[in-house]
Copies of this chain bind each other. A is one copy, B any other.
C-alpha cells in the first residue's frame, strides 16, 4: 500500500538496526545468573531443569546439549535423561510421572520430535502444567490465549523478549505472521494481538491457503516469517521501514563450508535488511532467544513452586 519516495527508502537504509539475539539473550542469561547467585546466598532453592532425550537425532542432541550447557552457565541444576529410540511410550510416560513427582525438579522438557511409535500429545499432556516449561501443554496454551499467567513456548516467548529488549513499541502496528504452526505462528499471532506491551498489534495470520501474500506482506509494519522455506521473503514483499522477525532456520547444502551446509532463514537477509528498520539475523537472532526464554520459564517455575 502507498508509495515511498527514494529518499524515504534511503533514510531507512541508514536507520536499519540488527535485532541481535545473542546480545539480548546474554542480558537475560546474565540477569538470571545474578538471581541464582543471590538465591544461593539466601539458601533458596536452585532451579532444576530435567531434559528427556529419546534416540540419537543429531539436531536434537545439539539443542539439548545447548540447553544443558546454558543451565550450567547460569548455575541451574540440570538432569539429562537419555532413552533408547525403541523405548515404549509407557516407559517414557512413567519417566515423566517420576519427574512430575520429584520435588527437586522444577521444569521438564521432552525434546521433540519423538520416534513415530510414541504420541507427542500423550507425552506433552503427561507433563504437569506447573513444570511444563516448554509451554506445550493445552492448559498453558489455553491460559496464554486467555491472557492468564502461563508458560509460553520458547520461540514465541523469546521473540516477545527480543521486542521488549529493543523497546519496540508494537501498539497499533500491523503484524503479518506467515505460518500457523502450533509452535510458532499460531502463538505469535495470539501474543502480538493481545492487550499487552509488546502486543496490541493488528495481526494477519497467513498460511498455505493465503492467496495474496505479497500484497498482505507489503501492508506489514512487522513481518514474522515462520513458514520454514529458506529465503522466501524477498525485498518486493517488504514495506520500507518494516520490522522483520525471521524464525526460519534451514540447513542448505553449501560446498564452501567445512560442515557442508549453511543455515538460511526464511528471509533474504541481504536484500531485505536495507528496507527494514529492525531485522533479526540467522543465525544469531531468534535462535539464542529461545534458550533464554526456556531458562526464564524454568526460573519462574522454580519461584512459583517455592511460593506455593
Interface residues as binary, A182-211 with B (CB distance below 8 Å gives 1, 0 otherwise): 100010011001110000111111110111
Q: List 15 A-B contacts (CB under 8 A).
A: A121-B148, A138-B146, A138-B148, A142-B143, A142-B145, A145-B182, A174-B211, A180-B194, A186-B190, A189-B193, A190-B190, A200-B209, A202-B216, A203-B204, A204-B204
The yes or no answer to A93 lying at the interface (CB within 8 A) is: no
Nearest residue, chain B, Cβ from A145: B141
Interchain nearest-CB distance for A204 vs B (Å): 4
Contacts of A145 in B (CB 8 A): 138, 141-142, 145, 182, 186, 190
Does the CB pair A205–B202 fall under 8 Å?
Answer: yes
How far, in angstroms, from A189 to B186 measured CA to CA in the complex?
10
A147 is an interface residue with CB less than 8 A from chain B: yes
5 closest A-B pairs by beta carbon, nearest first, are: A138-B142, A142-B142, A141-B142, A204-B204, A200-B209
Cα of A204 to Cα of B195 in the assembled complex, Å: 16
Give chain B residues whose Cβ lies under 8 Å from the Cβ of A200.
207, 209
Taking residues whose C-beta sits less than 8 angstroms from the other chain, chain A's interface range is 35 or more
Q: Type the 1/0 row for A133-144, where 1 means its CB is closer than 8 Å to any CB of B.
A: 000011111110
**Is A113 part of the contact surface with B, judged by Cβ < 8 Å?**
no
A138 to B204, CA, bound (A): 24
Cβ B202 vs Cβ A209 within 8 A:
yes
Q: How far is the CA of A16 from the CA of B119 in the complex (A)?
A: 47
Q: Residues of B contacting A211 with CB < 8 Å?
A: 172, 174, 202
Name the residue in A121, A137, A142, A145 with the highest tally of chain B Cβ atoms < 10 Å from its Cβ: A142
Set of chain B residues within 8 Å of A193, measured between Cβ atoms: 180, 189, 205, 207
The answer to whether A146 and B203 touch (CB under 8 A), given A171-B209, A211-B172, is no
Docked-complex contact B202 and A172, CB < 8 angstroms: no
CB-CB nearest in chain B for A204: B204
Which residues of chain B are near A182, meaning CB under 8 Å? 145-147
Contact of A202 among B1, B143, B186, B210 (CB under 8 A): B210
Nearest B-chain residue to A143, judged by Cβ? B138
CA distance A139 to B124 in the complex (A): 13
Given A146-B182, A186-B145 in contact, is the A172-B209 Cβ separation under 8 Å?
yes
